[in-house]
A and B are shown apart, each in its own frame.
Chain A
Amino acid sequence: MKQKPKILVIDDDVDLVAVMKGTLESKPYEVIAAYNGKEGLEKAKKEKPDLILLDIMMPVMDGFNFAEQFGKDPSLAKIPVLALTSFSESLGQPFPFQVAEYLRKPLKPKELIAKVEEHLKRGGSQT
């Protein structure tokens, strides 16, 4: 790999973002953090990350709104999105665009890394 894969973490929980950032940066990943959907969308457009970790329930713009806006932008549509939810939040709510996988919160650091690796590989083999 020439460059560190970029991962965009979108979550309103500052502490959780810190832990995820720490976890992912222990591997050769560059982590960009956003604390709401709006900020996430802006950073996604600017940074063109290789993968997005998206929290579903957030203030300002929640994960669903984010996904809707996100899906409209063809330059972003190929980026795999892993949705992070606690069970009760996301039940039965269909996403307006393809989410690569739903991950149930809380996620153990090792599981998080495994999932990120898996989807980065999958995305890489597709292009």
Chain B
Amino acid sequence: MALKIDNVIPKEQPAREHTPEERALVLRLGVYVNMRWLIVLMIVSATLISSRVFHIGFSTLPVYIICAIIASYNLIFVRQARSLQTGEVGQVIKRAQTSGNIQIVLDLLMLTALMHFTGGIENPFVFFYLAHTIAASILLPQRRAYALATLAVLAITLLVLLEYYGVIPHVNLVGFVLDTRYKDTSRVVAVLVALATLVYGCTYVITAVSGELRRRQKEMVKLRDQVLEKRTMELEQVSSEVVKLEQERRSFVRFLGVVAHDLQSPLIATQSFLSYILDGFTGPITDGQKDLLERGVRRIDGLLTLITDLLDIPRIEAGQITREMREISLNEVVKRSLEGLDNVAKQKELTLKVELPESSPKIIGASRRLQQVVTNLASNAINYTNEGMVLVRVFDNEKDVRVEVMDSGIGILPEDLPRLFNDFFRGSNVGSKGTGLGLSISKRIVEAHGGKIWAESPDPETKKGSRFTFTIPKKQTAVS
């Protein structure tokens, strides 16, 4: 079962990354290996000092040989410690602990040999057995630490007893302690008991602490994994909600399309019938009939515009514009917006002037929507101007583009200015032309591009008519 699960769930850390527990173990093992160099150095200098400075009599050669042995196996362990740092994941703990085990056993043997050649129980360095116990307690699981503590106690006890009973010769530290110490039963027992107590005491305390540490590390990792898992789940949930919302948005926009189509189709058909009659395809008509048919056509026109405008608003608010955005040339947009308006201006004997920058600025925008804005502003300007001119200007600024539509028309009353862009607002001085939605739709379109739109009356330059300005930033920030 476990194997199956392992196969299904990909390993959290795929390659060459250790868990905190592994990292700590490898680090500690490295410290232990490095410490050994220091110990070798200490033994050599202690031997030199005791024999040369304090003239304690003992044979130093075996000591140096032991140091050489320790140094040579340490070379191997240094290399091994390095390979553990970059080695395969998974086996790290086992390999590090095996290595630690071997190292400690070797060290115990070396220490026991060293003790034998430097006075056995006489040597106060006998308490160095503690060092190995501490290392074992830190590096290894509790049981092995106790086993090694026992090994340490057994090794020194065995050495002391063998010397005590004369099985092996005793090396006296001449000039340091009396030659009888190793046979002083009460002293031997006292030292051994003290050492054993210390060894087991240390093992107990340190394995308890490091065991706790290991447990916490494991808990930490588990907690981290749980948090990660929860995050992933939350993320999946959010993204599925986003997908759902997007689906809803799309079906809403599609619904609006169908509504627009179904509302407009009969009107368009009716409009065509009226025009068919008006244009004389069914035979001549009287002036009275013509007048009524024309009124009918105009009313249907108004209704068609209203339907378009009304359904435009929820489409814009559903974020449809953002989907239509691509890189476009603003000059091109303005030119196309004014295509049909030339004739209208001419009929009213107005001049329609356009000033475009030579730089032909590129922006990210919804071409037809921006055309809608410019057409709306310009046709408003033409509608509400009886003489003079309408000027459309485009400015290419560093951070944005600015479009201005200025006229010399009737202007806007000061009290109307703040409400100009509200839904269904019609100026107090313009009668009941239009749906009152053109400017509010323009505002929505400009704002969906991250831009601003405003009106001034009279135009601050000419002191006549009014001026409408909108800006579109060149760099689109996220538009909601």
The listed residue (A19, A86, A91) touching B276 by CB distance below 8 A is: A19
Tell me if B268 and A92 are in contact (CB < 8 A): no
- Name the 9 nearest CB pairs between A and B, nearest first: A92-B324, A106-B271, A15-B269, A19-B272, A88-B308, A106-B268, A109-B279, A108-B275, A57-B261
* Interface 9-residue window, one of A1-9, A20-28, A74-82, A115-123: A20-28
Tell me if B281 and A23 are in contact (CB < 8 A): yes
The listed residue (A19, A57, A89) touching B273 by CB distance below 8 A is: A19
Residues of chain B within 8 A of A57, CB atoms compared: 257, 261
* Interface 9-residue window, one of B47-55, B123-131, B364-372, B462-470: B364-372
Residues of chain A within 8 A of B368, CB atoms compared: 91-92
State whether the Cβ of A47 lies closer than 8 Å to any Cβ in chain B: no
The listed residue (B267, B276, B321) touching A23 by CB distance below 8 A is: B276
Tell me if B367 and A92 are in contact (CB < 8 A): yes
Which of B264, B300, B312 neighbours the largest number of chain A CB atoms within 10 Å of its CB? B264
Which of A23, A86, A89, A110 neighbours the largest number of chain B CB atoms within 10 Å of its CB? A86
Produce 1/0 per residue, B290-325, CB < 8 A to A: 000000000010001001100110010000110110
Tell me if A88 and B281 are in contact (CB < 8 A): no
Nearest B residue to A16 by beta-carbon distance? Answer: B269
- CA distance in complex: A20, B267 (Å): 15
State whether the Cβ of B401 lies closer than 8 Å to any Cβ in chain A: no
State whether the Cβ of A95 lies closer than 8 Å to any Cβ in chain B: no
State whether the Cβ of B260 lies closer than 8 Å to any Cβ in chain A: yes
- Interface residues in A63-105 by Cβ distance below 8 A to B read 86-89, 91-93, 105
CB distance from A65 to the nearest CB of B (A): 14
Residues of chain B within 8 A of A42, CB atoms compared: none
State whether the Cβ of A13 lies closer than 8 Å to any Cβ in chain B: yes
Residues of chain B within 8 A of A105, CB atoms compared: 264, 268
The listed residue (A16, A87, A91, A108) touching B279 by CB distance below 8 A is: A108
Tell me if B312 and A88 are in contact (CB < 8 A): yes
- CA distance in complex: A16, B269 (Å): 5
Produce 1/0 per residue, B256-285, CB < 8 A to A: 010011001101110111011011010000
Residues of chain A within 8 A of B278, CB atoms compared: 108
Nearest B residue to A110 by beta-carbon distance? Answer: B279
- CA distance in complex: A89, B254 (Å): 10
Nearest B residue to A92 by beta-carbon distance? Answer: B324
Q: A88-B311, A89-B257, A91-B368 are in contact. Are A22 and B281 (CB under 8 A)?
A: yes
Q: A86-B304, A92-B324 are in contact. Are A106 and B311 (CB under 8 A)?
A: no
Tell me if B269 and A13 are in contact (CB < 8 A): yes
The listed residue (B268, B273, B321, B369) touching A86 by CB distance below 8 A is: B268
CB distance from A53 to the nearest CB of B (A): 13
The listed residue (B260, B272, B324, B367) touching A88 by CB distance below 8 A is: B260
- CA distance in complex: A86, B261 (Å): 8
- CA distance in complex: A15, B273 (Å): 9
Produce 1/0 per residue, B19-39, CB < 8 A to A: 000000000000000000000
Residues of chain B within 8 A of A91, CB atoms compared: 324, 368-369, 372
Residues of chain B within 8 A of A86, CB atoms compared: 260-261, 264, 268, 304, 308
Nearest A residue to B282 by beta-carbon distance? Answer: A22
The listed residue (B268, B276, B315, B320) touching A109 by CB distance below 8 A is: B276
Tell me if B304 and A106 are in contact (CB < 8 A): yes
Residues of chain A within 8 A of B304, CB atoms compared: 86, 106
Given contacts A23-B281, A106-B271, 8 further A-B pairs with CB under 8 A are A22-B281, A86-B264, A89-B260, A89-B261, A92-B367, A106-B300, A107-B272, A108-B279
Tell me if A16 and B272 are in contact (CB < 8 A): yes
CB distance from A2 to the nearest CB of B (A): 26
CB distance from A103 to the nearest CB of B (A): 12
- CA distance in complex: A105, B320 (Å): 22
Tell me if B369 and A19 are in contact (CB < 8 A): no
Residues of chain A within 8 A of B315, CB atoms compared: 88
Residues of chain A within 8 A of B268, CB atoms compared: 13, 16, 86, 105-106
